[in-house]
Amino acid sequence: MARHLITSALPYINGIKHLGNLVGSQLPADLYARYLRARGHEVLFLCATDEHGTPAEIAAKKAGKSVADYCAELHQVQAELARGYGLSFDHYGRSSSKENHALTQHFAGVLAEQGLIREVTETQMYSPQDGRFLPDRYIEGTCPNCGFESARGDQCDNCTKQLDPVDLIDAHSTISGATDLEMRETTHLYLRQSAMKDELEQWIDTREGWPVLTTSIAKKWLNDGDGLRDRGITRDLDWGIPVKKGTEDWPGMEGKVFYVWFDAPIEYIACAQEWVEAGKGDDWKKWWRTDKGADDVTYTQFMGKDNVPFHTLSFPATILGSREPWKLVDYIKSFNYLNYDGGQFSTSRGRGVFMDQALEILPADYWRWWLLSHVPETADSEFTWESFQSGVNKDLADVLGNFVSRVTKFCRSKFGEAVPSGGEDLPVSQEDLDDLVEKIRTYEKHMDAIEIRRAAAALRSIWVWGNEYLQEAAPWATYKEDPDKAAGQIRFALNLAHLYGVLSSPFIPNASLEIRGALNSLDDSWPTDVPAALTMLRPSHAFEVPENLFTKITDDQRDEWQARFAGKRD
């Protein structure tokens, strides 16, 4: 049994996320965590709401609430939605926790002791109309590198070039739209990433098998222009973690807070501390401190490509620069973007399907299956209602659901609601059985490698195998001539249905539980011995015919939903 630490990029607190956000980190992370647990490994799966920064302040003001109250409320909303999608976090924390306050201030103190933080007096964009300094992400304009018209003050999401607000063409405040921006002096702390460049590059080169997307972005940022830049880690804001050196005040930094991108990744560690504080675990250090046992942990992070620079450079610079024995990430699974029906998901314009709305329409497994089987691993992918309808109807309803329904209903009609006796336990050729075993091992290989699309295709092929067996064996025809032989065939098919319930659990956990529950066996043992797994349900074992596992999406429903989610959400 191995030990696996898994973290998902933290969803931001300002509102409900759309399906593109879900498939970009949390859902694939949950798939992997569920799979590893099913294989018997020890897993700690952590996530939290990212609660600091200007967007939280603005969203709270718009809602007429204090920032603290707003964040507490939205944390509960997001936690409930996570449960709705079956996200199996061991703990879902908050970056505003007291643990993260203390740990962020600790890291700032030790980084300062190592000479990796410098004070910089600089001019920053100030908006007289808004009465405040504007954080980089609240300044937009045209990218000077690629011409993208919605580049932000810190980065262009189109070409990923790192920017300063003054680089933007026709810059404006995204709060008020004001264009009369001016530069004013302020003093901030900078993390001396440039001093860590060689060490970071050497560390990245030791990471094995990272996706090309991850390494290409990291290398680009390492060598872009003059090389890796120092990065500001404080802001002139009211809401956030106060700037301190450990527990001591930091002269000249009064009234400032740490930049959200400095404290948010530190929350991964703090979340484990919160996990212990909540009584869910007894030792967070064995997961995060290499001097306390974490050296045998495999740490995997999941995130969208826009988060890669911070997780390959800034956060590792914090960890390495501390010179303390913290666990570093072993593998970063990054994703491209999921687009929506000919365009982009848009939170501001309400374009696309949001997590709460999706669950109002259909159960979570419908969404889990389509999103994971179309996850944007190697390139951007696109959600269309036609593709979603096809995936639900053909994969879930016609292949998996149809198999379970046909087998249980036929058995009930001919043998009653109990596993029949008679016939062979394994009424298939050795060649066919070997083919099934090979398909299962292929599925496992792709899951082990976190090749999610390939894993989904492999799982579907296992479902298809059962339907092909059923068509070839034709127990309904066999029954007329040899009821005993038909009993063996249908007993084998019932065991196959149970096997599908186990194998499918990482992708569609609710349907998996429903299948195994109907078959009166919640045994979820992974099939290391496939023949044994296919003879587990013995004669006279009682079962029930499940309700229709998956309802097909009609053309009328598809058209209605396409029109409903084309524009502004209610």
Cα 467 from chain centroid (whole Å): 32
At 495, the amino acid letter reads N
Q: Is 156 annotated as a binding residue?
A: yes
> Cα separations (Å) of 228 from 105, 146, 422?
24, 20, 71
Structural contact between residues 173 and 136, judged by C-beta atoms closer than 8 angstroms: no
User: How many degrees, rounded to 5, is the angle at CA 43 between CA 512 and CA 298?
Assistant: 130
φ, ψ of residue 109 in degrees (nearest 5)? -65, -45
Distance CA 327, CA 168 (A): 37
Q: Is 411 annotated as a binding residue?
A: no
Structural contact between residues 57 and 237, judged by C-beta atoms closer than 8 angstroms: yes
Expressed in percent and rounded to 5, the helix, strand and coil fractions of the chain are 50, 15, 35
Q: Is 71 annotated as a binding residue?
A: no
Q: Is 146 annotated as a binding residue?
A: yes
Structural contact between residues 300 and 4, judged by C-beta atoms closer than 8 angstroms: yes
Structural contact between residues 22 and 355, judged by C-beta atoms closer than 8 angstroms: yes
Cα 158 from chain centroid (whole Å): 22
Structural contact between residues 270 and 292, judged by C-beta atoms closer than 8 angstroms: no
Cα 130 from chain centroid (whole Å): 35
Q: Is 143 annotated as a binding residue?
A: yes
Neighbours of 94 (CB within 10 A): 22
Structural contact between residues 525 and 486, judged by C-beta atoms closer than 8 angstroms: no
Point out the annotated binding site for ATP. Answer: 347
Point out the annotated binding site. Answer: 143, 146, 156, 159, 347
Point out the annotated binding site for Zn(2+). Answer: 143, 146, 156, 159
